[in-house]
Structure 1
């Protein structure tokens, strides 16, 4: 019998490529998984695709930045599956209006978007999506874990949390806050027997970054090649590369004394100095 059989799991941002892979693994292991997302069409598609396996999958429409929406999602989840045992905070993303066109100030031209040109509302929204989009669901769903005296929370960080990637200051700052918040929560919930950890995926080709990494001819862009040149394993990650570490961090029988850590899954990117 799998450790995850019968566990009740919430995955925010569950329609994205990486979090969908996690949800699929958990359903196959026998867990009851709720995929939370704003997009109804994408959410129902994931529900249909993952249903009929050992576990169960249900789409619940939810805006992680709207407290009432998350509370309603929790009510729906509790009525469907019961209390939440595992929370994966996968909601996040970037906004082009919060990104610069060039890597440095000296590269900027009047035709590009420099730091001074960034739309502050988009900057704030990106920060909120990556940080408050983790804070709010945790605040609401963790109460089930407090009542049960047990639970596991997994946050999704990024390589950009350790050393900010060029062009994406808001996204980088938002993900850096995830690392700090993960450690804070681990301390806060330690005596409540709730473990809080994070993974920091390296570079995976997703819907969000596809056009930045693959050009119209299907070839790697200059930015993609720069990433590969700094990744010792010389490839992009596959969603299945996340499953082993996720399985370990979510399993109390395998990582019961592990809390407050951020695990890089990056093909060696963070270890490489560039020389």
Structure 2
């Protein structure tokens, strides 16, 4: 049965892949992104391949923007059945320069060098807002379409950081932990009105946001990239397509009794003790 599916942040690598996979299943897709050019590109590719998709400019941090976007979705595609909250990301101002604090770091005057004590509250707030508020607001707007209907669900994007925080990125790790907690809370809250709520927790996937952190210009691994691969039992980064199977399952009738779960898709990273 065809459903109307809204994906936020769908101009990016991971969610555009999910959008195309869902469209191939016959669903009508609303591609949300702050960058309308990116959304248009994905929607055009889906429509060219025989699917149905529209591009919508929307800011997940502005409720009025989302309300206007919802009107467009309702008029052009119909009532929303599934919401995938894919918008998120990190910010350099919420990131430390080194994984561990050393006493000599306190004397480092290098431009841009940041210890824990230098983290910018504005940068940290940006990361929390983008990941948590950027999940909360779209849910407030689009879940109203789902109340009392059958086969409706919400899929959030958490991270394996939510299970075990990575070094250097306290803001992002904390924000994704909030997304996981919110997923469980919302699953209980919506359990009486027919809306399931689950989350994916991707491990390390090469995206535009992290490519320069994990690989060099010639494609080799950086020290951090090497550490990640050494700690990933499957010995590789994830590919966007690795998210498709779990997404189709959680959004489909086969998961009709599944709600409140956060599923790691990380090649075993979160299961490995390092020994």
Q: Above 0.5 in TM-score?
A: yes
Q: CA deviation at 1:15?
A: 0.8
SS state at 1:146 partner: coil
Counterpart-to-counterpart distance in 1, 2:58 and 2:165? 29
Q: Where do 5+ consecutive residues of structure 2 fail to align?
A: none
Which residue is equivalent to 2:14?
18
**Normalization by structure 2: what TM-score?**
0.95
Which residue is equivalent to 1:269?
269
**Normalization by structure 1: what TM-score?**
0.95
Counterpart-to-counterpart distance in 2, 1:242 and 1:41? 24
* Count, aligned residues: 270
Q: Deviations over 1:200-255 (max 9, x none)?
A: 00100000001001112321100011000000000000111111111111102x11
Counterpart-to-counterpart distance in 1, 2:29 and 2:150? 20
Which residue is equivalent to 2:109?
110
Q: CA deviation at 1:149?
A: 5.1
Are 2:90 and 1:91 equivalent residues in the alignment?
no
Q: Deviations over 1:79-108 (max 9, x none)?
A: 011100000000000111111111111173
Counterpart-to-counterpart distance in 2, 1:80 and 1:114? 49
Aligned pairs (5 A) from 1:203-222: 203-222=204-223
Q: CA deviation at 1:116?
A: 1.4
Q: CA deviation at 1:150?
A: 4.5
Provide closer, same or farther for how the CA distance between residues 150 and 250 of structure 1 changes in structure 2, counting only shifts above 3 A. closer
CA-based RMSD: 1.2
Aligned pairs (5 A) from 1:104-253: 104-106=100-102, 108=105, 109-111=108-110, 112-148=113-149, 150-252=151-253
Counterpart-to-counterpart distance in 1, 2:52 and 2:137? 25
CA contact (8 A) 2:148 2:194 kept: no
Q: Deviations over 1:111-150 (max 9, x none)?
A: 2211111221111011100000000000110000015355
Are 2:18 and 1:51 equivalent residues in the alignment?
no
Q: Where do 5+ consecutive residues of structure 1 fail to align?
A: none
Moved more, 53-62 or 103-112: 103-112
Q: Deviations over 1:33-74 (max 9, x none)?
A: 001110121111111112133431111000000010010110
